Amino acid sequence: MPQFDPSVFSPQLFWLLVSFIALYWLVAKVAVPRVGEVLEQRARVIQEDLDRATQLKAETDAAAAAYEKAMADARHQAQDHMRAMQADVKAVSEKRTADITGQIGKQVSEAEARIASAKQAALDAMKGIAADTARDVVAKLASVTPDAGAVDAAVAAALKETR
């Protein structure tokens, strides 16, 4: 077997050493740094993308939460407005109702007073008419001109009775 010929050991071992060292230098100086750089860079880019995606997702979540909050706030505000408005409307209407009621009451009482005074005037006028009528009736029937004072007294008495 050529493998066990000792004369071929030294050239093989020498060139093994030379080529192995050459290859080692090549691997350590070219292959490993270059491929390592590519792999590292790729891992970094992927990690950065993942980080950015996480960050964007957080931002989206925050924006969504802010939107929800704004909506809830607006709804609350609107409800508050409505409630305030309703209270205002109620107060105004109550005030107006009270005003009108008061006015009407005053007008009613004024009207009542006017009616009472008119009635009094009518009664007073009636007294005169009754006295005149009574004097005329007496003068016609008895041809006597009655005393004016007596007639007035009699009419007053009669009115008192009818009342």
Partner 1 sequence: MAHEAAEGAHGPMEQFEIHRLIPINVGGVDISYTNSALFMTFAVGLTFLLFWGATRRRLMVPGRWQSVAELIYEFVADMVKSNAGKEAMPYFPFVFTLFLFILFGNFLGLMPYGFTFTSHIAVTAGMAVVIFVGVTILGFVKHGLHFFSLFVPPGTPLAMCFILVPLELFSYMIRPITLSLRLFANMLAGHVLLKVLAGFIIALGLFFGWVPLLAVFGITLLELLVAFLQAYVFALLTCIYLNDAIHLH
Contact residues toward partner 1 (CB under 8 A) are 1-5, 7-20, 22-24, 26-28, 30-32, 34-39, 41-42, 45
Which CB, 27 or 66, lies closer to partner 1? 27
In three-state form (DSSP H/G/I as H, E/B as E, the rest C), the secondary structure along the chain is: CHHHCHHHHHHHHHHHHHHHHHHHHHHHHHHHHHHHHHHHHHHHHHHHHHHHHHHHHHHHHHHHHHHHHHHHHHHHHHHHHHHHHHHHHHHHHHHHHHHHHHHHHHHHHHHHHHHHHHHHHHHHHHHHHHHHHHHHHHHHHHCCCCCHHHHHHHHHHHHHHHC
How near is the Cβ of 78 to partner 1 at its closest, in Å?
53
Which CB, 32 or 137, lies closer to partner 1? 32
Residue 146, SS3?
coil
How near is the Cβ of 75 to partner 1 at its closest, in Å?
49
Which CB, 42 or 96, lies closer to partner 1? 42
How near is the Cβ of 50 to partner 1 at its closest, in Å?
15
Which CB, 20 or 67, lies closer to partner 1? 20
Helix axes 148-162, 32-142, angle to 10 degrees: 130
Which CB, 18 or 65, lies closer to partner 1? 18
Give dist(CA 72, CA 67) in Å, integer: 9
